[in-house]
Homo-oligomer: A and B are copies of this chain.
Amino acid sequence: MKLSTRGRYGARLMIDLAAHYGKGLVLLKDLASRQHLSAKYLDQLMLSLRRAGLVKSKRGVKGGFQLAKPPEEIRLLEVVEAVEGPLDLVDCVAHPEGCPRSRKCVTLEVWEEVGREIRQVLARRTLADLAQRQQQKEGAPF
């Protein structure tokens, strides 16, 4: 019941990109060194984020990454689902037909409800919110 590194790193990555929004492209290696993460691994996360339509990239000498839309329009939920896959507590929520018990399963309903709740919390936060809070914290003494 833990978020994997993909979700955690993905969130940090996108908040970083949000902080640089409107200031041109950001290099993957800069992102990696700022966040103390392996560039090669971030590379993979970027693949997912790009395919989900959350970041745009440009290759070659003056290349880099940037958010595909303003940080106000990107919710943390989208980011996490892009890199982690659907946020359900159990697979049978998405594929109830695979389980013969699903029709008579009381716990299934509960797992569904928890999933909805998780998505709601994550959908409340946009990258703009988070980037702003981040900046406030940076300024604080510690």
Using a CB–CB cutoff of 8 Å, the interface residues on chain A facing chain B are 1-4, 7-8, 11-12, 15, 76, 84-85, 87-91, 103-107, 109-111, 113-114, 117-118, 120-122, 125, 130, 133-134, 137-138, 140, 142
Contacts and interface: CB of A to CB of B under 8 A. Distances in A.
Given A1-B3, A1-B87, A110 B125 contact: yes
Given A76-B110, A110-B125, A90 B1 contact: no
A5 B75 CA distance: 30
Contacts of A117: 117-118, 120-121
Copies of this chain present? 2
A87 B125 CA distance: 21
A88 B133 contact: no
A130 B142 contact: no
Contacts of A15: 106-107
A94 to B, nearest CB: 11
